[in-house]
Amino acid sequence: MALNIIPADQALNVSAIITYIYADPGLGKTSLGFTADKAISFDFDRGAHRTGELRRGAVVPVQQWSDIENIKEQDLAPFNTVVIDTVGAMLESIKTHLLKTANNRQQDGALKLKAQGLANMKFKQYINTLLSFGKDVVFIAHASEDQNGEQIVYRPELGGKNRNELYRIADIMGYLTTVRTSEGKNARVINFKPSPAHHAKNSGALGGETGEVWLPDLKTHPTFLADLIKQAKDHINTLTPDQLASAKAISDMENWKQSCNEIEHAGDLNQLTESLQDLVQSKHVYAESMRQSLLLRAKELGCKFNKQSGKWENPVEFQAISDAQRDQLQAFIDERGLDIKTVCEHLGIDSLLQIDIAQLQSVQQEIDNLAKQGITA
């Protein structure tokens, strides 16, 4: 049979996409999922009962991962959309399943690093299986509020590597929140355009230039999410494979830079470093630029990479020299014919008490070298 080859300059028809919605509490994200086309909800969060009359689709109450692990295509034949509610609870369900095997557990009961990788692999394989059945997949997630300097950032409530992996595989991703309208009323809106205040992705060109899609009353708009996903697909299917790949790569890079800017400690660096390894292996076009962004943020934080452990480490807390050590250093400076002002200017400090005790010996060597250069008081 001849291969079905689609040239790079022709549109590539996409039949199933991944939609990712994360939201503040109490905004009806579960009800939103039921407005997808012929939806079935995998209720990992056990909250489908709270949707009341808005529950228009079938529900699978997931008590444990084995309930849905071996799903078959015929099981989903009546449905067009699988809603994962919530994706965070799904990942925890997989991890809990793996913890039942003793070889996957550390002595403290936590998952071994290898088992965590297995959990991520199981998750990706499962999603790929759903897509291979021709089903759209909708991820529902809780939003977390994080402080990045003076900026509050809203993003999915997931760990660093999983958060970035889900962002990478999603076609569209939006933050559902409430805003006050000019009439003084509260209205729900999904933001699909990324900003410093929230993470998002808009391969489907939803919401025009602003990327904002306003939520109607779902009682009178029972196909709202189905219509939104169709609109996104229609746009994606106008793009050639090259255009899709380019847009996706640029979007990945923008999200990466945003994630780097939000890093506050070595733990965040380590999570992103794991994600970077996957991107390098997949030969992402911007992998080197992403690495440079990561290294720049590490330098700004003063974190060092420990080659033995293969992990980033937070900077050692600054401890100034004591008054007695300062007096001894002053005598050391005098003996070499230098003055304190000259030394401080050379070291880029305002006072000798700004010298870290761990650097005292190297500072003395620097002062000695300075004296040998013939710079005197």
Q: pLDDT tens across 47-102, in order?
A: 777 777 777 789 999 999 999 999 999 999 999 999 999 899 999 999 999 999 88
Q: Are the C-beta atoms of residues 186 and 214 closer than 8 Å to each other?
A: no
Mean pLDDT of 276-298: 91
* Three-state secondary-structure class, residue 138: strand
Q: Tokens standing for 302?
A: 């003063």
Percent of the chain with pLDDT over 90: 41
Pair (108, 196) in one structural domain: yes
The phi and psi torsions of 210 (rounded to 5 degrees) equal: -80, -25
Pair (66, 188) in one structural domain: yes
Confidence category of residue 239, pLDDT binned at 50, 70, 90: confident
Residue (of 334, 269, 259) closest to 295 by Cα position: 269
> Does residue 308 belong to any structural domain of this protein?
yes
Of the three residues 180, 210, 238, the one that is the final residue of a domain is 238
For residues 350 and 39, the model is more confident at: 39
Residue pLDDT, tens place only, 110-125: 888 788 888 888 998 9
For the chain, the average pLDDT equals: 87
Full domain range(s) for residue 262: 240-314
Pair (279, 366) in one structural domain: no
Pair (308, 168) in one structural domain: no
Pair (106, 176) in one structural domain: yes
Pair (196, 263) in one structural domain: no
Task: Give the count of alpha carbons within 13 A of 69, CB side only.
Answer: 13
> Does residue 13 belong to any structural domain of this protein?
no
pTM, rounded to two decimals: 0.76
Pair (353, 274) in one structural domain: no
pLDDT at 1 over 60: no
Of the three residues 182, 204, 238, the one that is the final residue of a domain is 238
Pair (65, 177) in one structural domain: yes
pLDDT at 220: 92
Residue the block writes with tokens 């929140």: 177
> Does residue 5 belong to any structural domain of this protein?
no
CATH number for the domain that contains residue 27: 3.40.50
> Does residue 124 belong to any structural domain of this protein?
yes
**How far apart are alpha carbons 204 and 238 in whole angstroms?**
10
* Helices and strands per DSSP (H, E), number in the chain: 11, 12
Pair (233, 244) in one structural domain: no
Mean pLDDT of 289-315: 90
pLDDT at 19: 96
> Does residue 301 belong to any structural domain of this protein?
yes
Q: Structural domain tally of the chain?
A: 3
Cα Rg of the chain (Å, integer): 27
Confidence category of residue 140, pLDDT binned at 50, 70, 90: very high
**How far apart are alpha carbons 147 and 262 in whole angstroms?**
8
> Looking at 67-81, 147-161, 321-335, which range is the least confident one?
147-161
Pair (107, 256) in one structural domain: no
Residue (of 64, 133, 136) closest to 100 by Cα position: 64
pLDDT at 33: 94
pLDDT at 317: 75
pLDDT at 2: 62
pLDDT at 178 over 80: yes
> Does residue 115 belong to any structural domain of this protein?
yes
Pair (50, 168) in one structural domain: yes
Torsion of CA 200, 205, 210, 216, to 10 degrees: -90
> Does residue 169 belong to any structural domain of this protein?
yes
pLDDT at 81: 96
pLDDT at 366 over 70: yes
Confidence category of residue 224, pLDDT binned at 50, 70, 90: very high
Of the three residues 314, 332, 356, the one that is the final residue of a domain is 314
Confidence category of residue 206, pLDDT binned at 50, 70, 90: very high
Widest CA span of the chain, in angstroms?
A: 89
Residue type, 173: M
pLDDT at 370: 85
Pair (264, 134) in one structural domain: no
**How far apart are alpha carbons 300 and 196 in whole angstroms?**
19
pLDDT at 377: 44
**How far apart are alpha carbons 205 and 228 in whole angstroms?**
10
> Does residue 199 belong to any structural domain of this protein?
yes
∠ CA 245-249-252, rounded to 5°: 140
pLDDT at 345 over 70: yes
**How far apart are alpha carbons 83 and 136 in whole angstroms?**
8
